[in-house]
Chains A and B, each alone.
Chain A
Amino acid sequence: MHPDLTTQIGSLTLRNPVIAASGTFGYGLELESLVDLNLLGAFVVKGLSLEPMPGNPPPRIVETAGGMLNAIGLANIGLEAFLRDKLPRLKQYATPVIVNIYGHHTEEYGELASAFKGVEGVAALEVNISCPNVECGGMAFGIDPFTSARVTETVVRNTDKTVIVKLSPNVTDIKIVAKAVEGAGAHALSLINTLTGMAIDVETRRPKLANIFGGLSGPAIKPIALYMVYQVARAVTIPVIGMGGIMDYKDAVEFLMVGARAVEIGTANFVNPRATVEVIEGLRTYCAENGIRKIGEIVGSLKT
């Protein structure tokens, strides 16, 4: 039996529900000698801003129990260099490219979105309103339902692509932001971005990250992520992409069971560069062994 792994995110059909998460897969090309990019459902490139961003001072990453804190600060090459140097090579792959976009203010999100209007080889935009590591913008948008909705509405108005809005877990009730973003016209949601956290060196009394705090990712956050995806999937009708600490196919199945139609894999790529393709293989075997013909049969199948 060959299970059908295809899944639908807005107008986008993915050959399987496994997506490489932004910031963990570079521009895709860094891993091309280790992973057959054509096997992936999609990949999300490193968060992109209008102008290049240098990122935060080092140290930018530190490992914590079952996870890692990062404060990269959205270091990226900027729109122009991406279109010129990266996209032509990414287009050669048959896998949809999702561009993660980030602005310092609402208008910049709009400008970025319009810059991709009609651009061939970009399947969707993932709107980052949830990065904890930049001073203005980023998470500042994502923790407020009104600004979240305004950014979403601006992007939707300026694009012909599928719009996925990436939500922050650093809120009291993620359902409120999720509903506001859905109401503003988002085609899909992805969650969760990293949880804000910190770590300290007790000998020097200094934070282990130069930025003082950063975003926690990895298996340590999976139970929180799963619960948030569970809540959001029940609160909205648009597709939800689940992520947060997925290391193997079982983790992915958990997210599908609580209602995610696809999953993103992030930190696991650092531990095992082939994590994405191993999850895809694992899902295929799981479906075959459990008599599941279409992956959609698992989505939201949690028994309570």
Chain B
Amino acid sequence: MFEVLTEVASNKRVTHDTWLMALRSAEIARAARPGQFVMIRLSLGLDPLLRRPFSICGVKEDLFLLLYRLVGKGTLLMTEVRERDRLRVLGPLGKGFARVEKNPTPLLVGGGIGAAPLVFLAQTWAERNLTFMAGFRSAKDILSPQAAIGKDTRLLVTTDDGSQGHHGPVTGLLENVLQESKAEVAVFACGPKLMLRKVAEMTMARGIPCQVSLEANMACGLGACQGCAVKAPATSGKSYVYVCKEGPVFDAKDIDWEGF
């Protein structure tokens, strides 16, 4: 884990509300694993005060990529960053996706901007014959990761309003794939809370291994502030797990989905 001043190599808008930023840091690019994140200081003044977490969407030589959606003050500042600007970055942080035993076929399930860490995962596991399911609200929101993940990877896109690709939530698509699938599978998911909860319930009911990448408000990203708590199931013997250090990727069984 490093705390470095990085140079912005590019920062491009990819949809009406989503941008892709490339930052230069050989240390971070080399150390980053899919599912890990960085904390970025967006102002040298006091507003915003805390660093903001962004999951890593890929690496390319000495660059690491961040796919982010404009949602508030912090991300607005991100969109205003220009090429050659410098940003203080802490990372890579947290525990990423783990390879599962027995090597089942990976099913990647992303909701909206939740596709970001899964793109990195798909690149890393390009040889594993995986299926990438990506759900979006509407055609204008689609982030097509096909170029990033290679044309051999099976990509299924769905929209809530049916304006492009399949019609309906990505969990519906997952349901279909699970029913059709004859091989052993493992699910890797990132997206909105309700989607993750549904994915966790679907997979746990079938005894399918499932890893989820979670988000939480956090101050430090290092395990020091203990701000990013998520309720753990009673059976685990723990009350909470911490997204920054024990996560952001968890086994679905390690989260209390009732209280999520």
Known: A26-B224, A58-B230. A271 touches B49 (CB 8 A): yes
Q: What separation, in Å, do the CA atoms of A125 and B125 have in the docked complex?
A: 51
B1 contacts partner chain A, Cβ-Cβ < 8 Å: yes
Evaluate contact between B49 and A75: CB separation under 8 angstroms.
Answer: no
Evaluate contact between B50 and A70: CB separation under 8 angstroms.
Answer: no
Evaluate contact between B50 and A270: CB separation under 8 angstroms.
Answer: yes
Evaluate contact between B231 and A72: CB separation under 8 angstroms.
Answer: no
Q: What separation, in Å, do the CA atoms of A286 and B244 have in the docked complex?
A: 36
Evaluate contact between B50 and A63: CB separation under 8 angstroms.
Answer: yes
- Chain A residues, CB < 8 A from B224: 24-26, 30-31, 46, 269-270
Q: A159-212: which residues lie under 8 A (CB-CB) from chain B?
A: none
Chain B, residues 212-254, CB within 8 Å of chain A (1/0): the string is: 0000111110111111111100000001100001000000000
Instruction: Give B227's nearest chain A residue, CB to CB.
Output: A61
- Chain B residues, CB < 8 A from A57: 229, 231, 259
User: For the side of the interface on A, what is the size category?
Assistant: 35 or more
A290 contacts partner chain B, Cβ-Cβ < 8 Å: no
A1 contacts partner chain B, Cβ-Cβ < 8 Å: no
Q: What separation, in Å, do the CA atoms of A279 and B41 have in the docked complex?
A: 18
B46 contacts partner chain A, Cβ-Cβ < 8 Å: yes
Neighbour of B240 across the interface among A23, A75, A247, CB < 8 A: A75
Evaluate contact between B225 and A24: CB separation under 8 angstroms.
Answer: yes
B51 contacts partner chain A, Cβ-Cβ < 8 Å: yes
Evaluate contact between A61 and B219: CB separation under 8 angstroms.
Answer: yes
- Chain B residues, CB < 8 A from A137: none
- Chain B residues, CB < 8 A from A61: 217-219, 225, 227-228
> Interface size (B, Cβ < 8 Å)?
30
Evaluate contact between B229 and A60: CB separation under 8 angstroms.
Answer: yes
Q: Which residue, A30, A66, A70, has most C-beta atoms of chain B within 10 A? A: A30
Chain A, residues 82-125, CB within 8 Å of chain B (1/0): the string is: 00000000000000000000000000000000000000000000
B62 contacts partner chain A, Cβ-Cβ < 8 Å: no
Chain B, residues 1-34, CB within 8 Å of chain A (1/0): the string is: 1010000000000000000000000000000000
Evaluate contact between B226 and A55: CB separation under 8 angstroms.
Answer: yes
Evaluate contact between B227 and A33: CB separation under 8 angstroms.
Answer: no
Evaluate contact between B225 and A219: CB separation under 8 angstroms.
Answer: no
Chain A, residues 244-277, CB within 8 Å of chain B (1/0): the string is: 0001000000000000000000010111111000
24 pairs, A vs B, C-beta closer than 8 Å: A24-B224, A24-B225, A30-B222, A30-B223, A33-B1, A34-B3, A34-B222, A46-B224, A55-B229, A55-B240, A57-B229, A58-B216, A58-B217, A58-B229, A59-B217, A61-B227, A63-B49, A65-B47, A66-B47, A67-B49, A72-B226, A218-B46, A267-B49, A271-B51
- 10 closest residue pairs by CB, A with B: A54-B239, A26-B224, A61-B227, A270-B219, A30-B224, A270-B220, A30-B223, A66-B46, A30-B222, A60-B227
